[in-house]
Amino acid sequence: MVTSHLTESFQLIVEVPQYMMTEPDLPKNEPAQARVHSRTLWISYALLIVLGGLGAHRYYHGYVLSGLGMLGLTAASLALSHHPIAFAINAGLIAWMVFDAFMIPRWTREKNA
């Protein structure tokens, strides 16, 4: 008897709003795990701008081999920095990064589909 009286008293003292007692609403057509692996444009572009020569944006989208290719070209450019070929390598890397800037929205749509 005392226990039920304490429980009733506690319920009167602490009113918990109904919205706090229900679980959060998830979109009906999207499972909870799908959002964990989603790719976002702003992260992709941030990686392209900050670490583009290292191919970080390509790793982020799962293109590991081409990301390693970009990393290799960057390493070759740094190793040959006093050689005229470094200019051609850097020009190629910049062109590749500009191409990737246009491809990122497509990659994001494909990964999130």
pLDDT digits (tens, 9 = 90+) for 27-69: 555 555 545 456 788 999 999 999 999 999 999 999 999 999 9
Q: What whole-number distance in Å separates Cα of residue 106 and Cα of residue 104? A: 5
Work out the number of other CB atoms within 10 angstroms of the CB of residue 47.
20
Mean pLDDT of the chain: 79
Q: What whole-number distance in Å separates Cα of residue 7 and Cα of residue 49? A: 59
Label residue 15 by pLDDT band (50, 70, 90).
Answer: low
Joined tokens for residue 27? 């979109």
pLDDT digits (tens, 9 = 90+) for 41-51: 899 999 999 99
Q: Cα separations (Å) of 1 from 7, 8, 13?
A: 10, 11, 19
